[in-house]
Structure 1
């Protein structure tokens, strides 16, 4: 049962009743009260509860786990420790899992009820705990059921792994029988394995010198241990194959005392692994597997052997287990002196790297040392986790939940990247919090907690804990061991999570940036879990959030440095085996230091080939084509600042570091407060350029410190889409000022404020102006193009293809008066007279040119009529309408009057809808959008991009501006599972994702514009949606159900449009665009972005082309042909002959839109029309299916038709005597062309592709 169905069928917050299901077949099952609610809601009859003491189900898994570990360690039966002050331990109320005492079990009643068994007893401890979990331990009953179902889906059925178990047993038999290999030289072992067995020894870099004196030998493994998630039963299903880890302990006799130095241990380890591969490859016990090498968690020093299933359907073919076996060479803890492997010790002498160093100044090699220590910690870590699995019943489920959460965020290593979290670290942190982590030294978590509580507590800890400043010593408050104390760890590692032995830093290979991302995600999860109103289960566990183009505001794709850079010092090379390994750790540290609070988060992702054939050298050696992805989440408040301030001049040391960081861009500047500081100043004009400062800084720093040239090796994704919301650069600058990109919406907002003040200042009016409010996208920062002022005195210089002047609608409200008439039509006439008076006053006081237009609907004199166009300097046209609340009162009175005639009510209803649209809905919508655009800096450009994209795909006439703006606002107001977009690039991507994934048939979209919508209101919206879908199955209304706090029924902006056909096409286009954008980012082909805005035309039936010279908005086309604009000067003498529009400015005149309106009026029942509102020079037409299907002739068909008959091939052909008719397509196309005479240039039929 899906979560969506559960949400629909289960009442939130209800407690499960403890009842029993009556079935008809003979069986006995344990009924978990946690599942009862699901059983009830599935409609199965529930009868009674029967308690039977004779049935006992043991939950003891000790012998299974012990067998999994092959008896290599024994776990003491530990009793639960007393909790600290942090939590209250409820576990003593639970029955012990080690006890053999029978517990009460709930049975399913079978067939007829037997006498004597129908009785009730007091609820057991388990039942009380289950009820308590619902009311206290979980957000709601639904959330509890969702977690249980998730766990059931991702758990592994260990009973279905017989072939895997057989393989493991044979592997143990094989390892026990492997013959010893005599000690031999490096040259001999390499030649022997390569020539005789085609195995290349996976030596790490630097390769062993050919003149080494020590030898290589092999003896059968001393022991074999199952380690990792498999014996703990915390394996979790995912898209990747599961890992079953086998630790193979190498005999101590193979190693010498100083093998821990200069990679000698790792070379011998690699040879040992190669011999194991030889033994498996040439076994004679039927162990048929495919072998590969891989780097263990990306650590190139520690190759491992991968056993893939053969796929031959044999008894050892574990293909169905969807896993691989990983052979991990290990060593006993006592092999080397641990003091020599402490974080501060150096174990790589420079001679191996062909460098010269003073031995007293050698740098520590903490990563190298930790790699050796980690090979000795497999079983001790497993034993530690196993103890907690025994004493905490929900520990395993909490580990599984954590893995799912980490996996969905891309924080779990897939084996190719050591600089990532893994499920093992999560499990160790949970175990640590069961012992410590609370206040006053107490426990953070209790053994009696549910899996949900354990996970929530762990997330809360991660969100609050400073991993950089506060080391974690698992099993200890700190480590005071000599050579392994807090100071030693802190000097050598960024993040410190020390295992129970007190010696191994589990986070040695993980940078602070990865933990910053973990903390970032934990803070989000904490906020979700603490919200009582919404259920964020999907955001936490079901939604994958690691797609870079949806996660990061800016993305940089970088080719790895090919040359050694200055920061990769000879000392760094001792501990980092390659440039790429060092770059992945060093680059985010450098960028974080330089960008400071401009960014919230930075991440570097490196993808390397995971496995390689045993016959070939390691794939991590070939990095010539490797690419890194750097993702940045911006801090919008600070990302656009022009100056980076550094230390004061008198702080010499800090100033030198600042200049070293910024190079030549650093300079000393005096500020207004008198301070003299080191600074970096960025030259950026306007919001658009300032939004790109972070990208410029990143590219500059990459070139300065790593020699990575921006054009050759870096593709920085940030402002590539900006070109589509600006007019083409090919347009004449004399007509269209390119500097408007710098000024933005500032000029129009300033002009509007001035005009509003002027209107309010006029005194010679019957009623004074009380307020002036905007209602157009231009005045709410959401018009596709920035408003361009027009010089009306030079209008004749503008070519016809650039003559469109957009009116800016505003609403004028007058002071109150009781003298307005009680007749709606009379009020309309008075408003027109008032506009005339207002126009007169504007001409008298400021010489402002005005035009008053009186539009009359002859069929309905209650409709709005008339407006005033004001030509206001520096070149904008305000279209003014007057709002009078008396109209609203009178129209509602007509609608409520039972004596009114139905036709009069219909007219009043139309007038009321128009009134609300112009004066109610639009004003409030504009008010909210203005606030949101000021609150979210990226919202304005996101809306503009989405509108441009929709129009480019010919859908602008099907979705109104307000609907598009609500869709865009939704991804900012409800951005889960991410934070709100910090750039238009990610904002645009997320809107595409919303459009492509929204289940609009089954779900309403709620946009909380005011941010205070109560749960009851949201429930009301959902009820309205369900009711509408039930009553209107064909979805003729509110196909896209988008509700706000003032529109609970989605009647304002999407009641009539778009239709089902349009929404379905929109969803397909959005998914295709998202896929194209993703591949474009990965491929680094910036020019391919243009394809996002190129509409596919093969799905239409025909195209109506226009003369671009007569399309007044053609200048807004994405790629306008410059021949229709040319040099402005040539129009001075020839404009009269060339123009068909005259010398007067025509406000809002778009002949293509007018033609489209006529086509819809005439042919809306026959065809669907598509047009690019912003400069499109054609209309695409698709016939409705009914038009292409022959049907019985009748008088009122409503379209031009002709007789047809169906032949044997199913194709239509003319036949004058047929009783069937079909649409006369050719005739209608000719009629459309005639209707657009002078504007239409040609009609193109689209040839449909056939399979």
Structure 2
């Protein structure tokens, strides 16, 4: 009774499954209406196993279904498999009928009747005999017999074993075996050229190795794109001893290859590891197939895993790693072209082109890849547009460089100091991080540093000694470990930091022999300048007490400046330093951008940090990067979009708060809502001026680079500054002018190599204003209809400019036609 009930249950389950898998007449799966009883029915054991498999092995049933569908998409259809099997069988049968030929010398190829030999026969003569006869065996190897062959490009490998009667045990010497293998492939190609089922025949190289040629076959007609058959000629198993092909062994005799007799009888032959590995590799296809077949039998998912890996590699264009070759597939050798500096290496391409053209002119080139009409091209006809912008940032006297080597030395010096700071012993608090906060450490310093020797201890000049070199300090932020013993008052924190400076200076002097000078706010080391911030100091600066004794937090300029120096600058420096490690031209592009901004009187409005972020988009050369910077500055919609990556939340916040945000809004991942580098400048007028100047400079540079005439890049740049120290009287004079007359005019100046201060009156400067005693600076009183107003006193302002700039200003050029009073 139980047996019958069990059979009925199984039959019922089979019927239910058939209903669920109901197919229509056209073979398409259709939905089946199930009763409520069937819907509420408990899952079967098979269904439970499938659910557990999806849960534990794939974690998600959707992923499993996607992988299954992907494998179905790339797997070979039955129709294509039949086509491949038929084509392979036809080729195999035809190769078994290769006619035997007479025995000839190995260097005699006249019997091939015009068929090319896929091997470079240099030297042209070698010992040995050769003849053709049918293969000893023909076997499928590679991915097709393993079931791991995937679409769209289907390649099937066929291993053809060379008969033992053709080979000789000493064929490993002096390229005899590779030449016999190439001749055997050429004989097979000659025989297959008479087959009607073969569409195309050509040679290729296995993994780009010219010593391992293969023969490629395709079927004729519309089936030519469905499969490619690769024929490999391999020696008989165990024919060549593997011990002869050790990497230290020699199988190419120098006397045979060079044709020059060796006068030294005791001289040892050099090893030939590449040749040895090439010959030894011909023994591997069959053994690899046997090994992988055994693995596949033990692991059922082996084939699917390999197929998925192939798809992944192909999607990322990593499925084939090829050496460089020309369009006619002729191989080239790697040549090392020297350069005195990084900037000189960018002209290696010009050297290669000129060298190849010169070789072609002399008919020395072995591989001809130019058309004959291009012959006799003189070097004077070559115009290389690769580095004309380097001239504006070149430094050095003996060897002109673009400052990249000097910037690298600064970073290396900082790394050495950072390593020694971490190794210090005896600190009251351990160091938690050492971060650079200077533009030189992100490779964007315009005026690069040179090594200076400290020959004396004095820092100020004397009567018989000139002023020493000015060395710009490089700021380094050292964070100490937090502690509950830190004070909560601002002045007390500064005293603790001063004590840290003294202690750290003594330890550096004692343990590493550094010369240090401690101050209350920083520590000077004869490598850089260090500062020790306390992470709660900006917060403490924002604290204040009300008259009622309540503690409140108010933001202020001092806290913001401290936060900028100790948090934002170190983060920006480390980020841009990492970017330069990936793209070596970033520093040069940033320096070009800063020099252009300075030459256009814009660097004090657009900070150098903002310029560095604008040049951060990827580029392959300094010239292209600078042109992209000008294009970005001139075409970007600064009014309606933030300059950031694709982050929806940043754009939404920007749109919601646009009226209160600065005109140029540049943010990073560290400051998503506040543009710390453009918060105060530029103004709308200066940003519009920068956009117009960038568009015009871009047009001028593109016109000059595209023209065939001599280029004058200095139209957009001024000559670089040769010397600069921190005592800048022009900057001090400029600050006095802005403090006195900043409400009436703009004062513009190029801090790198400028010789002119441009004064631009503001549009509302000459509008009359009501008379007030507190607003009489640089103004005079005028009475009209009994009403007293004030207007700018231009004569007095010009006189003040003369007095303040006495001894510094050479002359004043009054452009009175541009303004009236």
* Short-chain TM bin: 0.5 to 0.7
1:824 aligns with 2:490: yes
Provide the rounded CA distance (Å) in 1 between the counterparts of 2:770 and 2:400.
60
The one-character-per-residue Cα deviations of 1:305-351 (angstroms, maximum 9, x if unpaired) are xxxxxxxxxxxxxxxxxxxxxxxxxxxxxxxxxxxxxxxxxxxxxxx
1:1019 aligns with 2:648: yes
Cα deviation for residue 1071 of structure 1 reads: 0.3
Equivalent in the alignment of 2:443:
781
Equivalent in the alignment of 2:416:
754
Equivalent runs, 1:612-761 vs 2, <5 Å: 679-705=334-360, 706=374, 712-727=380-395, 741=403, 743-761=405-423
Equivalent runs, 1:932-951 vs 2, <5 Å: 932-951=579-598
Change (3 A) 1:1197 1:766: same
Change (3 A) 1:1171 1:1227: same
Counterpart contact for 2:644–2:666, Cα < 8 Å: yes
Counterpart contact for 1:782–1:944, Cα < 8 Å: yes
Q: Which of 496, 502, 506 is the matching residue for 1:840?
A: 506
Q: Which of 1230, 1240, 1243 is the matching residue for 2:809?
A: 1240
Provide the rounded CA distance (Å) in 1 between the counterparts of 2:382 and 2:467.
39
- Partner secondary structure for residue 1153 of structure 1: helix
Equivalent runs, 1:391-790 vs 2, <5 Å: 487=200, 679-705=334-360, 706=374, 712-727=380-395, 741=403, 743-790=405-452
Provide the rounded CA distance (Å) in 2 between the counterparts of 1:770 and 1:836.
19
Q: Which of 646, 657, 669 is the matching residue for 1:1028?
A: 657
Counterpart contact for 1:1038–1:1050, Cα < 8 Å: no
Equivalent in the alignment of 1:869:
524
Provide the rounded CA distance (Å) in 1 between the counterparts of 2:507 and 2:758.
47
Equivalent in the alignment of 2:795:
1226
Q: Which of 1065, 1068, 1073 is the matching residue for 2:697?
A: 1073
Cα deviation for residue 704 of structure 1 reads: 4.0
Change (3 A) 1:489 1:999: farther
Equivalent in the alignment of 1:199:
none
Equivalent in the alignment of 1:428:
none
Cα deviation for residue 1173 of structure 1 reads: 2.3
Change (3 A) 1:882 1:690: same
Provide the rounded CA distance (Å) in 2 between the counterparts of 1:762 and 1:439.
61
Provide the rounded CA distance (Å) in 2 between the counterparts of 1:909 and 1:1242.
41
Provide the rounded CA distance (Å) in 1 between the counterparts of 2:404 and 2:438.
22
Q: Any stretches of 5+ residues in structure 2 without a counterpart? A: 1-25, 30-112, 115-150, 155-194, 205-220, 223-321, 361-373
Equivalent in the alignment of 1:1118:
720
Counterpart contact for 2:343–2:401, Cα < 8 Å: no
Counterpart contact for 1:807–1:1148, Cα < 8 Å: no
Equivalent runs, 1:5-24 vs 2, <5 Å: none
Cα deviation for residue 1052 of structure 1 reads: 1.2
Provide the rounded CA distance (Å) in 1 between the counterparts of 2:411 and 2:754.
28
Change (3 A) 1:871 1:1155: farther
- Partner secondary structure for residue 716 of structure 1: coil
Provide the rounded CA distance (Å) in 1 between the counterparts of 2:517 and 2:386.
44
Change (3 A) 1:702 1:1233: farther
Q: Any stretches of 5+ residues in structure 1 without a counterpart? A: 1-83, 89-359, 362-437, 442-481, 492-500, 503-643, 648-653, 662-677, 855-865, 873-877, 973-980, 1008-1014, 1095-1116, 1126-1145, 1206-1214
Q: Which of 554, 574, 591 is the matching residue for 1:927?
A: 574
The one-character-per-residue Cα deviations of 1:1016-1056 (angstroms, maximum 9, x if unpaired) are xx222112212222x44xxxx42111122222223311111
Cα deviation for residue 1165 of structure 1 reads: 1.8
Provide the rounded CA distance (Å) in 1 between the counterparts of 2:748 and 2:550.
39
Equivalent in the alignment of 2:535:
885
Cα deviation for residue 955 of structure 1 reads: 0.9
Equivalent in the alignment of 1:1176:
754
- Partner secondary structure for residue 530 of structure 2: strand
Change (3 A) 1:957 1:440: closer
Change (3 A) 1:761 1:1193: same
Cα deviation for residue 1240 of structure 1 reads: 3.0
Provide the rounded CA distance (Å) in 1 between the counterparts of 2:336 and 2:657.
57
Provide the rounded CA distance (Å) in 1 between the counterparts of 2:681 and 2:742.
13
- Partner secondary structure for residue 680 of structure 1: coil
Equivalent runs, 1:297-316 vs 2, <5 Å: none
Q: Which of 991, 997, 1006 is the matching residue for 2:635?
A: 997
Provide the rounded CA distance (Å) in 2 between the counterparts of 1:1079 and 1:694.
23
Cα deviation for residue 1159 of structure 1 reads: 2.9
The one-character-per-residue Cα deviations of 1:489-533 (angstroms, maximum 9, x if unpaired) are 999xxxxxxxxx99xxxxxxxxxxxxxxxxxxxxxxxxxxxxxxx
What TM-score, normalized by structure 1, do the two folds share?
0.36
- Partner secondary structure for residue 1169 of structure 1: strand
Cα deviation for residue 1119 of structure 1 reads: 6.8
- Partner secondary structure for residue 1174 of structure 1: coil
Cα deviation for residue 786 of structure 1 reads: 3.0
Counterpart contact for 2:442–2:576, Cα < 8 Å: yes
Cα deviation for residue 983 of structure 1 reads: 0.7
Cα deviation for residue 959 of structure 1 reads: 1.4
Provide the rounded CA distance (Å) in 1 between the counterparts of 2:453 and 2:337.
34
The one-character-per-residue Cα deviations of 1:632-691 (angstroms, maximum 9, x if unpaired) are xxxxxxxxxxxx9999xxxxxx9x977xx8xxxxxxxxxxxxxxxx55331212322222
- CA RMSD between the two structures: 4.6
Change (3 A) 1:1219 1:938: same
- Partner secondary structure for residue 516 of structure 2: strand
Cα deviation for residue 925 of structure 1 reads: 0.9
- Partner secondary structure for residue 810 of structure 1: strand
Provide the rounded CA distance (Å) in 1 between the counterparts of 2:625 and 2:556.
38
Provide the rounded CA distance (Å) in 2 between the counterparts of 1:825 and 1:954.
39
Cα deviation for residue 1232 of structure 1 reads: 3.2
Change (3 A) 1:486 1:1161: farther
Provide the rounded CA distance (Å) in 2 between the counterparts of 1:708 and 1:1193.
82
Equivalent in the alignment of 2:81:
none
Equivalent in the alignment of 1:961:
608
Pick 1 or 2: higher relative contact order, CA cutoff 8 A, min separation 6. Answer: 1
Aligned length: 506
Equivalent in the alignment of 2:369:
none
Counterpart contact for 1:1203–1:1218, Cα < 8 Å: no
Cα deviation for residue 849 of structure 1 reads: 3.4
Q: Could you say which structure has the larger radius of gyration?
A: 2
Change (3 A) 1:716 1:819: same
Cα deviation for residue 912 of structure 1 reads: 2.5
Counterpart contact for 2:394–2:401, Cα < 8 Å: no
Q: Which of 810, 825, 849 is the matching residue for 2:476?
A: 810
The one-character-per-residue Cα deviations of 1:678-708 (angstroms, maximum 9, x if unpaired) are 5533121232222221233234334543467
Provide the rounded CA distance (Å) in 2 between the counterparts of 1:965 and 1:900.
45
Change (3 A) 1:709 1:918: farther
Moved more, 927-936 or 1228-1237: 1228-1237
Cα deviation for residue 1228 of structure 1 reads: 2.1
Change (3 A) 1:488 1:779: same
- Partner secondary structure for residue 715 of structure 1: coil
Change (3 A) 1:892 1:709: farther
Provide the rounded CA distance (Å) in 2 between the counterparts of 1:1086 and 1:1217.
66
Change (3 A) 1:1189 1:909: closer
